[in-house]
Structure 1
């Protein structure tokens, strides 16, 4: 499938994206994709964007500020406000492409990308459909209740790192994915994905500690009343937090559908060819009706 490299600016920083296009000529319905924390466009969003294009829908995968080929300092900073603003700009950039039918734009989120996307498209009528794949529908109140001391300590750690950065310019980092040490992601499956299967020159296995100041408080559930477009949730019993996914789905006020993903865990949904193809097929069937 052809890939068109595009760039667009957000707050003076240049963002780089790959627009995956179907092989057929003409204009196409299209989506913006958004993926897991710390990830880059050559990983899960690129995998899904390529399969979407193979099945007839143009799809933009891009690097958010602070990551990959995109600009933005400090590096490896997982800051939800910037990610949401980046997505809003990405929709504008996508709709301006001559290969795209600007009146047929949708959204696809994977893992935490579902949360960033939900906030980015809140109350919008121009985004015609939203697909959430194996979403990490964070429930901050539940997280605080489960470990109030640990939650508060990590927020304080992030604030301290941010203040140190502002004084000195030094960015304290930990691994994005690791086992047996402090890291943003500590499950075996995420470690295997980011350090083995998804290794790419544009990805660094690093996470700015200052991210924790705001990241810990990023709540996905609060976006749900504002999901006005048709919504397809693709989730499964072995994906992240099925109970949070169920809570989010039940609260969606508009048209909604649900399909189940059969997987061993979360990250095989990112790159197992059979799972990706089947999940995208469900997404395309849905998007073809609503875009």
Structure 2
């Protein structure tokens, strides 16, 4: 199906957020809000799935979250899960205020860390009619490391005192002190494979204060809309995905694919196409 793209901007509080809206040729079945992995921007996984869903008849929005890419907000590169949840809520409001989409139901898809973020957003927002998580990461409170939280808190206090926002690389060839110490993460974000011009390879250290204690699992039992889990035994932490899925009490379904790891869910058509096809069927069923 032929699709088109248009810029889509909206605000959260005083900050301007920038997205890309993918539109199908005809009237959309629903509007999909997408959110992606840690430190990512709209041209990466979120945009890939938005395009795949637009080809299947959906309008789909991929955004640069606050402090990332073209969107406003400081400190730059701050990974704040609950802040991203608030961005999603602002995106839903903006889509429903858009005359092209005002009467179109809204559904949601999250990839990797965005799966956990989207779980909280959907559990908190009755406007969202269905949810799909692709290679999602769903941490609970048991994974909190107090030392990591303290490192983030100290970085925040230094910024407030001095104006200097400390960052570390998101990825590096030799790993080291980075946000994502996985070789496959470097092979995506650290190379032309995934390092699009809008992407910055950096992670605000004070992000640790937010990410280390983020609980996605608690949202599972609060979901009231249909949920689709797409995962792989070779993606990150399948036990978390299974535990999240087991705790969901709303209508649910699962699709387990055969990936090499986590990152190939971002750009391998052999994973993207079946995941998008399953999500499209899931969303159609939810809004019909």
Alignment TM class, shorter chain as reference = over 0.9
Aligned to 2:60: 59
Partner of 1:102: 103
Residues 1:115 and 2:113 are matched in the alignment:
no
1:187-202 to structure 2, matched below 5 A, reads 187-196=182-191, 197-202=193-198
Q: Which aligned pairs between 1:1-291 and structure 2 lie closer than 5 A?
A: 1-24=3-26, 26-100=27-101, 102-141=103-142, 143-144=143-144, 151-178=145-172, 179-196=174-191, 197-291=193-287
Whole-angstrom distance in 1 between the partners of 2:52 and 2:98: 20
User: Take 1:105 and 1:77, find their aligned partners in 2: how far apart are those partners?
Assistant: 27
Q: Tell me, yes or no, if the aligned pair for 2:28 and 2:104 is still in contact at 8 Å.
A: no
Q: Using the alignment, how far apart are the partners of 2:80 and 2:66 within structure 1?
A: 9
Distance 1:190 1:127 in 2: 30
Moved over 3 A (4+): none
Relative to the length of structure 1, the TM-score reads 0.94
Aligned length: 283
Question: Are the aligned partners of 1:103 and 1:126 in contact in 2 as well (CA < 8 Å)?
Answer: no
> Structure 2: 5+ residue runs without aligned partners?
none
Cα distance between partner residues in 1 of 2:258 and 2:151? 37
Structure 1, unmatched stretches of 5+, are 145-150
TM-score of the aligned structures, taking structure 2 as reference length: 0.95
Relative distance call for 1:22 and 1:11 in structure 2 (3 A) is same
Offset at 1:123? 4.7
> Residues of 2 paired with 1:61 and 1:200: CA distance?
15
Check 1:27–1:214 CA distance in 2 against 1; reply closer, same or farther (3 A cut): closer
Other structure's SS at 2:230 match: strand
Contact 2:41 2:198 in 1 (8 A): yes
Once residues 224 and 119 of structure 1 are traced to their aligned partners in structure 2, the CA distance between those partners, rounded to angstroms, is 8
Q: Decide which moves more: 151-160 or 239-248.
A: 151-160
Q: Deviations over 1:167-199 (max 9, x none)?
A: 111011000112331011011111111111111
Aligned 8 A contact 1:51 1:280 in 2: yes
Alpha-carbon distance in structure 2 between the residues aligned to 1:173 and 1:217: 19
Question: Post-superposition shift, 1:140?
Answer: 2.8
Provide the alpha-carbon RMSD of the alignment.
1.3
- Quote the Cα distance in structure 2 between the aligned partners of 1:213 and 1:206: 16
The CA deviation string for residues 195-238 of structure 1, in whole angstroms up to 9 with x for no partner, is 11111111100000011112100011111111110001111111
CA distance in 1: counterparts of 2:8 and 2:225, whole angstroms = 27
Partner-residue secondary structure (3-state), 1:198: coil
The whole-number CA distance in structure 1 between the counterparts of 2:277 and 2:210 is: 35
- What is the rounded CA distance, in whole Å, between the counterparts of 1:270 and 1:277 in structure 2? 11
